């Protein structure tokens, strides 16, 4: 026999299943992010700053006269 209760119970179970996947996916993503932050070496993103990029270092040394152009 079909009752309205059976239909609504199915929707709640589907809704609960979706939230369970979202919850566990978020928890796993949070754990992975935390482990990445703990393992990450300080200064591994130093290229984000233009001053520490290899070309930036070379330009700065050239400006100070520490290196020359190399064409004599």
Residues 33 and 48 in one domain: no
Q: Which tens digits make up the pLDDT trace of 25-54?
A: 999 999 999 999 888 776 655 555 655 688
Answer with the residue of higher pLDDT: 33 or 70.
33
Query: In terms of residue numbers, what domain contains 6?
Result: 1-40
70 close to 61: Cβ distance less than 8 angstroms: no
Query: Average pLDDT in the 2-7 region?
Result: 57
Residues 1 and 34 in one domain: yes
56 close to 62: Cβ distance less than 8 angstroms: no
The predicted model scores a pTM of 0.47
- Is the pLDDT confidence value at 14 over 90? no
Residues 11 and 31 in one domain: yes
Answer with the residue of higher pLDDT: 63 or 52.
63
- How many structural domains is the chain composed of? 2
SS (H, E, C) the chain: CCCHHHHHHHHHHHHHHHHHHHHHHHHHHHHHHHHHHHHCCCCCCHHHCHHHCHHHHHHHHHHHCCCCCCCC
């Amino acid at each position: 026999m079909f009752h309205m209760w059976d239909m609504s119970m199915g929707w709640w179970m589907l809704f609960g299943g979706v939230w369970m996947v979202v919850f566990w996916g978020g928890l796993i993503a949070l754990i992975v992010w935390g482990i990445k932050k703990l393992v990450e070496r300080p200064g591994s993103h130093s290229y984000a700053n233009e001053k520490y990029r290899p070309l930036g270092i070379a330009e700065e040394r050239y400006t100070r006269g520490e290196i020359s152009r190399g064409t004599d």
